[in-house]
Amino acid sequence: MQEAAHKLSFLALIVFLVWLLGLNHCLPFSVFLCTLEYYKGVLFITTNRAAFIDKAFKSRIYLSLNYPVLNKAYQKEIWKSFITRHSPEPAEFSDGDYEAFTEHSMKGRKIKNATKLAHLFASRQGRPLAPSHIKAVLEVLNEDLWTENSTTDGRKPW
């Protein structure tokens, strides 16, 4: 019975993704809503397209959480956390370094990915993580994202 419930929830997730991507969704979406209605358990669904969620689907959501854009103070704490998490002895980072990192408005996951890349970069050089590694990664990310996803106000979307 447990295995059937897992298969059903996986099917429901696939149907939801089909609906989210805008494919022919009338029948699959109906199946997903019915499955969701009788689902026994907790189902976590995340999306960055909340504005496009159907009213019928919204009516079946018990709790919806919105995560606002991080202010610079929170970003600074996230930078500090990820920098010290994987590096037993990182080089000295000043408040000015953290301020420079927060000039790029980034969400937690992007900060995590940037610090991971910087850690890899530093370890390949056989050196402890330093602000120069983070800045190099941010420069590369900045160039990459600028060409793909520029916004109308000139700010980077990340």
- Residue 42 belongs to some domain of the structure: yes
Q: What pLDDT is attached to residue 79? A: 94
Would you say residue 155 lies in a domain?
Answer: no
35 neighbors 11 (Cβ within 8 angstroms):
yes
Predicted structure pTM score: 0.58
Amino acid at 113: N
For residue 107, being part of any structural domain is answered with yes
Q: Are residues 77 and 125 in the same domain?
A: yes
Judge whether 66 lies within some domain: no
> Which pLDDT score, from 0 to 100, does residue 111 have?
94
Identify whether the C-beta of residue 35 lies closer than 8 Å to the C-beta of residue 45. Answer: no
Question: What CATH number does the domain containing 145 carry?
Answer: 1.10.8
136 domain-assigned: yes
Consecutive H or E run containing 109: helix 108-125
Token pair of 16 as six digits: 């939801």
Verify that 80 and 143 share a domain, yes or no.
yes
Assess whether 36 and 101 both reside in one domain.
Answer: no
Q: What are phi and psi of 2, to 5 degrees?
A: -60, -45
> How many domains are contained in the chain?
2
Same domain, residue pair 47 and 79:
no
Q: How much is the pLDDT for 45?
A: 78
Tens of each residue's pLDDT in the chain, 158 residues: 566 566 666 666 766 666 666 655 566 667 777 777 777 778 787 777 778 877 877 887 888 888 778 899 999 999 999 998 876 666 788 889 999 999 888 888 899 999 999 999 998 999 889 999 999 999 888 775 545 444 555 554 44
Domain that holds residue 7: 2-58
- My answer on whether 45 and 80 are in the same domain is no
- Spatial separation of the C-alpha atoms in residues 20 and 34, rounded to whole Å: 16
